[in-house]
Structure 1
Amino acid sequence: MDLLTDLFAHHGLIAVALAVLLEQLGAPLPSTPVLLLAGVEAAGREGFGVRAFLTATVAAQLANGLWFWAGRRLGRRVLSALCVISISPDSCVRQNEASFARRGVLTLVIAKFVPGLSILAPPLAGALGMPARRFLAWNLLGSALWAGVAIGVGWLFHEQIDALLRALSRLGSVAVLLAGAALLGYLAWRLWRRALLQRELNRFERVAPAEVAALLAQGRPVLLVDVRATAPGAPATPRLPGARHLDLGALGDAALAGWPMAEEFITYCACPNDASAVKAAQWLKQHGHPARVLRGGIEGWTAAGFTLETA
């Protein structure tokens, strides 16, 4: 631990920049402990806190800007890769969509304080068509608030954190083993949760695009339900013919008010493993409505050669 504190004393800003950059790019390594150490260092070195704050904010903004650009260029396809890189369960996409639907750009302010939202919020904002200037402004506010709080907590409790580091230093190699075990336990827990959620998603009944098209051609009372999130001010996106939009951020008794009667609801989204569509279908079934999920979502529909309509 003495080596750690010495390295941080001489290369603290580099450590802050790398830790924040790697986490915000998708590495499953939390940077908050490094920001707390920056706060401890700031308590004993004048001006270091401000430099660490600016370094962390700029690093987060840079990484988030890259993911926003990827979301703008590649659309929601980039989310599938992010779910693997960050070891985040696919439900994180659903949580982000619900948060954008409920809070709009405020999602970018709170995202870094919510596990699973931080890495997916920027590319989803790009995929939803949020204007770049709006994203950069609100994301900068969220990055600055997150970095300031973490460094501020480290500065406020620098005596307690320093005492903890000294205690760990006395443990020697045992402390290193404990830290490694904690990291491995964290990664194992994330992978275990992902496996459970993946099994839940895979169990839900899917319906092929060709079968849905046949039901519509037969005039069956089937209602398509679009659960994709929309960013405030973003242009309307094409949808499946006759689809109704269901806001995952506002599910309640009035969510289906004014909807036509249907023999079956078929939900769809544009997300990894149809995670948002499964959530909506589960909610519909809990309220007594037969529901299935369109396999592959809107991309599966267009890949099968079927057309869309303008919302």
Structure 2
Amino acid sequence: MNELQQLNESHGLLLVFVNVLLEQIGLPVPAYPTLIVTGALAMQSKPLLGAGVLVAMFACLIADTLWYFAGKRYGGVLLKSICKISLSQDTCIRQGLNVYDRVGPRAMLLSKFLPGAGALVTTVAGMNATPFALFMRYSLAGSFIWAGSALLLGMLFTDAIIPLLGWLTGYLPLAIGSVLLALGLFIGWKYWKRRRLMKRTSKVPRITVPQLLALRDTDDMPLIIDVRPKFHTAVVEGIPGALSISLEEPLDPWLDQLSDVDMVFYCACPNELSAALLAEKLRARGLTRGKALIGGLDAWREAHPDQDIPGQAATA
């Protein structure tokens, strides 16, 4: 245990900086446990506590600033890249945009407590052209809350953590095996949930972009509905003339308007999941004439980037 204390005193701040920076950049190397251990060990060297908070905040600020400017420049393309490594990639973009749409930059106050959410929220802040000074304030505040809470937990439970660290030092292979087993079970559970959702939504009828375009200027032209969050529709232009109904808003105001029309739903998400979910919700209310656009907005742009569809209502 003395060796661990000496290591913390000599290289603890460097370890905190590297671990936090790598996690906030997006690598799967959790830094919160490191901060908790640092807080517990620092009770015997209290100047490390204040330094630990500052170092962690500095590492967070570097990563947040990189994501902010990357989001400002690359926007939706970067969001998709972030969500490709998510265990819930089908809902990752929608959830990130919805959170920022509801609470704005205040989302950065707590986003670091959720794996991957820190990068997602700061990227959306850049996409939304949040003023940099405002972004900095919330980034620093969120970093302080996140890092400070971990160090405080370590301080409060130091009497339990120090003996545990001593036990883990003696049974390191068992400890590593337990962590890997827990991680494997978590990943398996998330994968099972995703497959179950995909199987359920696969029952929603689909339509391709060429099939949709073949219906234009005919009596069978469906109403096109943009399922993306309101914030995303304001930032990234969708199919011209589409009606905007996000997945989270109440459906009651729309039921009369949609009761006797064919509908095509589209989103900007993997497997057109949000579109299928809205179609599923409407089917539960008795509106069964809806289909999800295969490939969503990306497929539309690839097939006909300048193509317009006339005759759509922009508002309810």
TM-score by length of 2: 0.82
Cross-structure match for 2:83: 83
2-structure distance, mates of 1:125, 1:295 = 29
1:188-203, aligned counterparts within 5 Å?
188-197=188-197
CA contact 1:223–1:266 (8 Å) conserved in 2: yes
Change (3 A) 1:161 1:259: farther
1:205-220, aligned counterparts within 5 Å?
205-220=205-220
Change (3 A) 1:76 1:172: closer
1:119 counterpart SS class:
helix
Cross-structure match for 2:271: 273
Counterpart amino acid of 2:265?
T
1:57-90 Cα offsets, whole Å, 9 max, x none, are 2212221222222222222122232223344433
1:92 counterpart SS class:
helix
1:165-186 Cα offsets, whole Å, 9 max, x none, are 2232343543343344444444
Cross-structure match for 2:174: 174
Cross-structure match for 2:68: 68
CA contact 2:226–2:244 (8 Å) conserved in 1: yes
Cross-structure match for 1:32: 32
- Bigger Rg, which one: 2
Cross-structure match for 1:114: 114
1-structure distance, mates of 2:95, 2:69 = 21
2-structure distance, mates of 1:23, 1:207 = 40
Cross-structure match for 2:293: 294
CA contact 1:227–1:248 (8 Å) conserved in 2: yes
Shift of 1:104: 2.5
1:118 counterpart SS class:
helix
Change (3 A) 1:288 1:174: same
Shift of 1:4: 5.0
Shift of 1:36: 0.7
Counterpart amino acid of 2:263?
F
Change (3 A) 1:235 1:52: same
Calculate the aligned-residue CA RMSD, in Å.
3.1
CA contact 2:86–2:92 (8 Å) conserved in 1: no
2-structure distance, mates of 1:198, 1:17 = 39
Structure 1 gap ranges (5+): none
1-structure distance, mates of 2:201, 2:18 = 35
Structure 2 gap ranges (5+): none
Change (3 A) 1:195 1:236: closer
- Identity percentage over the alignment? 32
2-structure distance, mates of 1:142, 1:148 = 10
1-structure distance, mates of 2:17, 2:26 = 14
